């Protein structure tokens, strides 16, 4: 078992890094956030989600044959303390393909 999952370099150093910076900023603005993050596995032939990497032929790497997910998700839940409605819960969710990105993510994107 591991608490890491392989990501493409351009995902990890680009949009995913920017998303993690945004989550840290939101935590500072809201005080406390709950963050749920993990890998997703989609069947490449149908594009449908599957329960686990064992349910479709995932790409594997390394001698331990670590399954490489097709996507990653991040869900952020926070109780607003930043000037909005006090105590109001806010949530946002992201699903990003574990793929090569041709250009870096910019806040205006």
Residue range(s) defining the domain that contains residue 52: 9-97
Q: Residue 107 falls within a domain, yes or no?
A: no
**Pairwise CA distance, residues 16 & 33, whole Å:** 18
Residues 46-66 have a mean pLDDT of 66
Q: Residue 39 falls within a domain, yes or no?
A: yes
For tokens 């949009």, the residue is: 15
Q: Residue 1 falls within a domain, yes or no?
A: no
- Total count of domains within the chain: 1
Q: How confident is the model at residue 30 (pLDDT cuts 50, 70, 90)?
A: confident
pTM comes to 0.75
Q: Residue 109 falls within a domain, yes or no?
A: no
Three-class SS state of 32: coil
Q: Residue 103 falls within a domain, yes or no?
A: no
Three-class SS state of 69: coil
Q: What is the DSSP letter of 52?
A: S
Q: Residue 77 falls within a domain, yes or no?
A: yes
> Which tokens hold the place of 101?
């990105």
Q: Residue 69 falls within a domain, yes or no?
A: yes
Q: What is the DSSP letter of 85?
A: S
Burial class of residue 2 in the structure, from the number of CB atoms within 10 Å of its CB (0-12 exposed, 13-18 middle, 19+ buried): exposed
pLDDT higher for 34 or 32?
Answer: 34
Residues 31-53 have a mean pLDDT of 75
Q: Residue 108 falls within a domain, yes or no?
A: no
């Amino acid at each position: 078992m591991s608490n890491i999952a392989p990501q493409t370099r351009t995902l990890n150093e680009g949009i995913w890094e920017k998303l993690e910076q945004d989550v840290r900023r939101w935590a500072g603005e809201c005080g406390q956030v709950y963050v749920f993050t993990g890998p997703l596995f989609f069947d490449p032939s149908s594009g449908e989600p599957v329960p686990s990497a064992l349910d479709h032929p995932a790409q594997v790497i390394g001698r331990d044959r670590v399954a490489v997910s097709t996507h990653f998700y991040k869900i952020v839940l926070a109780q607003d303390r930043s000037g909005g409605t006090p105590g109001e819960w806010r949530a946002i969710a992201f699903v990003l393909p574990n793929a090569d990105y041709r250009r870096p993510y910019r806040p205006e994107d």
